[in-house]
Amino acid sequence: MPPPDDPPPTTTTTRTSIIDSLGVEIIGVMSPVSICMLLVVLILTSLSSPSTTSSTSPPPVTAATLIYVESDSDSPSHKLLGAVLDAAAFVALIAAATFLLVLLYYYNFTSFLKNYLRFSVFFVLFSMGGSIMASLLQHFSIPLDAPTSFILLFNFAILGVLSVFSPAVPILLRQSYMVSVAVIVAVWFARLPEWTTWVLLIALALYDLAAVLCPHGPLRILVELASSRDEELPALVYEARPTDSSHPVSPPASTPVASLGSVEMQPVSEASNSNSSSVDEEERSPLVSSPPVVRENLSNFNHEQVRDSNNSNHAVVEMETGESETLPLVEREGFRSSSNSDSEFEMFDSTRGIRLGLGDFVFYSVLVGRAAMYDLMTVYACYLAIISGLGCTLILLSVFRHALPALPISITLGVIFYFLTRLLMEPFVVGASTNLVMF
């Protein structure tokens, strides 16, 4: 006689509730952003010892300090003017680079772009990451010799290059490399002088708004080109794929499946100049700078993969305004059994994830890193502001359903909260808590 099935241990809670799986994609994007910011804050606070801040080391000559290099002895208005000029020059450079990218993409130089990006990832990971590693080793007096660290760094960089554009690399590895690239670039960017950083962030947020929403903005053209050719963008994007890979493409519109369906927040990382004293345009780090763009992706299946008869190549996803839900677990199982080929879904489930461009990661982290140079309170306030801005952008995305810039709302909120916290909240809270009066 077969043994009876064991009763489920919890008799009343086997029903799944709707809040179990609501909001998975949003968290899937917010957690790498949070991890990136955390790493940047940790690196910046551990590397900025009192000795370096008091010494007058000249800031690196970069594209962002072409016109004016801030020094402590200038008056605030002079600094502001210089910062605005710097920011304008930087944004102009970025716009030019983006137009160049669009041109190359238009004339089908896609493989050139991809190789250029691979080179740039290698450059970032090896040389910029290497200098960070060197300063960390020095700061913490870690006993690691030069040849070993060289080999480790080289391996690290090569693996990063391999994972950037190839679909066969595990998604977790690719995501980690994207986050590391963003961390390295953000740490580098945070070394800019203070006024320049703030003005630059605001200028980039405005540029992002213009580039994505204006009809002739370069990013909008790029996104439309890519979607008309039905290809992936040749750019560095973070893809937040859901972890359970058994998602078949949902049959068009008949199921109550709503997901934030692949909104792509677009790519690109920014242009950062090398540390050499000669401001050489050609040596610019390949991360082409265009601020991120969010777009709704109508599927990104690889072209080889046109197998399933009942599923079209385009996943039409239904949007729920303001809410997002993944396929409930029950229905997933059902789909799995009904679909005829589930084995390839493991590899080609590229439809359901939000994509966020690396430029977003970098500039959010730059803002938080700059806040970290002041105080931990501002860090937390800016972190909350950025995360809520990101949440708002995602919600707007599900309402508007086309490309949206991810920088403006978050950066604006972040800057506002930084200055509010610094000017208003800090005297209040520090005054109260150092006297041990809390509420």
Instruction: List residues with catalytic annotation.
Output: 208, 360
Phi, psi of 296 (to 5 degrees): -90, 130
Facing residues of 355 across strands? 239, 264
Min separation Cβ 394 and another protein, Å? 11
Residue 356 engages another protein in binding (rule: CB under 8 A):
no
Residue 254 engages another protein in binding (rule: CB under 8 A):
no
Residue 85 engages another protein in binding (rule: CB under 8 A):
no
Residue numbers 383-402 binding another protein by CB under 8 A: 384-385, 387-388, 391
Nearer to another protein, 293 or 317 (CB): 317
Residue 411 engages another protein in binding (rule: CB under 8 A):
no
Residue 251 engages another protein in binding (rule: CB under 8 A):
no
**Which helix (H) or strand (E) is 405 found in, with range?**
strand 404-405
Residue numbers 186-215 binding another protein by CB under 8 A: none
Q: CB pairs under 8 A, 24+ apart, for 327-330?
A: 327/247, 327/250, 327/255, 327/257, 327/259, 328/16, 328/21, 329/16, 329/21, 330/16
Min separation Cβ 435 and another protein, Å? 5
CA proximity to 27, closest of 408, 390, 368: 390
Nearer to another protein, 279 or 420 (CB): 420
Residue 53 engages another protein in binding (rule: CB under 8 A):
no
Min separation Cβ 206 and another protein, Å? 24
Q: Out of 23, 59, 60, 251, which residue is the one contacting another protein (CB under 8 A)? A: 23
Residue 74 engages another protein in binding (rule: CB under 8 A):
no
Q: b/e for 300-329, b at 16 or more Cβ within 10 A?
A: bbeeeeeebeebebebebebeeeebbbbbe
Crossing angle, helix 76-106 and helix 218-229, to 10 degrees? 30
Residue numbers 30-49 binding another protein by CB under 8 A: 30
CA proximity to 376, closest of 36, 41, 39, 31: 41
Please, what is the Cα angle at 309 between 304 and 312, to 5 degrees? 70
Residue 103 engages another protein in binding (rule: CB under 8 A):
no
Min separation Cβ 439 and another protein, Å? 4
Question: In sequence order, what are the residues at sequence separation of 6 or more whose Cβ sits closer than 8 angstroms to the Cβ of residue 125?
Answer: 153, 156, 157, 160, 161, 177, 180, 181, 184
Nearer to another protein, 402 or 422 (CB): 422
Give me the numbers of helices (H) and strands (E) for the chain, helices first please. 14, 5
Residue 10 engages another protein in binding (rule: CB under 8 A):
no
Residue 334 engages another protein in binding (rule: CB under 8 A):
no
Residue 323 engages another protein in binding (rule: CB under 8 A):
yes
Residue 439 engages another protein in binding (rule: CB under 8 A):
yes
* Residue 177, token pair as written in the block: 């490399």
Question: What whole-number distance in Å separates Cα of residue 427 and Cα of residue 417?
Answer: 15
Residue 110 engages another protein in binding (rule: CB under 8 A):
no
By three-state DSSP, how is residue 289 classified?
A: strand
Rg for the chain, CA atoms, rounded:
23
230: left (phi > 0), else alpha (psi -120 to 50), else beta? left
Q: How many residues bind another protein (CB under 8 A)?
A: 49
Going residue by residue from 366 to 385, which x/- string records binding to another protein, judged by CB under 8 A? ---------xxx--xx--xx
Nearer to another protein, 213 or 425 (CB): 425
Question: What whole-number distance in Å separates Cα of residue 330 and Cα of residue 403?
Answer: 32
Nearer to another protein, 158 or 329 (CB): 329
Residue 27 engages another protein in binding (rule: CB under 8 A):
yes
Residue 51 engages another protein in binding (rule: CB under 8 A):
no
CA proximity to 122, closest of 148, 151, 149, 154: 154
Min separation Cβ 379 and another protein, Å? 8
Task: Tell me which stretch binds another protein (CB under 8 A): 85-93, 187-195, 243-251, 425-433.
Answer: 425-433
Residue 136 engages another protein in binding (rule: CB under 8 A):
no
**Which helix (H) or strand (E) is 237 found in, with range?**
strand 237-240
Instruction: Summarize as ranges the residues that interact with another protein (CB under 8 A).
Output: 12-13, 15-24, 26-27, 30, 256, 320, 322-323, 325, 328, 375-377, 380-381, 384-385, 387-388, 391, 417, 420-421, 424-425, 427-439
